[in-house]
Amino acid sequence: MKLNNFFEKIYVISLLSATQRRESINNLSKKYEFNFEYIDAVDKSTIKMEDLKKEKKWAYPKNDFYCSKKCSCSGLGHELNTSQVGCQLSHEIAWRDMIKNEYKNALIMEDDISFHRDFEILFKKISSNVSKNWNFLYLGKLKNVESKKDIIKIKHGFSGTHMYGLSIKAAEKAVNNLYPLRAAADGYLNRFLIQRKYDSAKLKNCYASVENLGFNDSIDGKTDSYIDGKT
Ligand SMILES: [Zn+2]
């Protein structure tokens, strides 16, 4: 199964200036024969936290317009920085593009992705075994999960937004519940889209591949996929 046969659309989020990363993505797409579109990532230097605060687009620490004891923050508000917001807004662009174009589903990757060396075998397994009504599908996560299964149904998300699939329904829920911003992209998907408490959109039919098919190879020190020993 080729990626484009399973996902109607493939996006790669990347800064316009990330020439080297884009080159490696172009090579990856040739090697694994997939077509994709770049989402030009939001540059963190363009983000003004003060404006987000003023416009109530961010549930900032000690805000009095959104957070209460019932919120996941217990009323304290949500600390965020420009990198986290830039990343979140970039994913939002992809979600909105999906909705605008009415793609049934899409795969979203970040430009520091690398594939498992047995990617093709693993993806064949996942794509043929996942429930047809899936709404969210982690192909990569910054965590190893112990299970004898290939795919698990999940009630929470994981760290890492470097490789996941979502349905148009998931994209709509993700966009509709996004503001005020309360978390970085991975925290948002976990707490406000997939989990079943707080102000979550409580998206159903979410799954994760037990094996990580993609790794976050970021040199920014966000993570270390090599710890997995599966590269
Ligand atoms: Zn809160």
Cα-to-centroid distance, 187 and ligand 1 (Å): 13
Q: Quick one: tokens of 176?
A: 């509709």
Distance CA 65, CA 215 (A): 38
Distance CA 107, CA 92 (A): 13
CATH number at residue 74: 3.90.550
Q: What percent of the chain has pLDDT over 90?
A: 90
Domain that includes residue 147, residue range: 3-216
pLDDT one digit per residue (tens) for the chain, 231 residues: 899 999 999 999 999 999 999 999 999 999 999 999 999 999 999 999 999 999 999 999 999 999 999 999 999 999 999 999 999 999 999 999 999 999 999 999 999 999 999 999 999 999 999 999 999 999 999 989 999 999 999 999 999 999 999 999 999 999 999 999 999 999 999 999 999 988 899 999 999 999 999 999 875 444 443 333 332
Cα-to-centroid distance, 197 and ligand 1 (Å): 13
8 Å CB contact between 191 and 177: no
Q: Report the domain count for the chain.
A: 1
* pLDDT tens digits along 176-229: 999 999 999 999 999 999 999 888 999 999 999 999 999 998 754 444 433 333
Distance CA 63, CA 87 (A): 22
Cα-to-centroid distance, 22 and ligand 1 (Å): 36
Is 130 domain-assigned?
yes
Place of tokens 């990198």: 83
The answer, yes or no, to whether the previous bond of 61 is cis (omega within 30 of 0) is: no
Model confidence pTM above 0.85: yes
Is 228 domain-assigned?
no
Cα-to-centroid distance, 66 and ligand 1 (Å): 7
Q: Where are the alpha helices (DSSP H) in 18-81?
A: 19-31, 49-54
Is 70 domain-assigned?
yes
Nearest CA to 160 out of 181, 190, 134, 136 is that of: 190
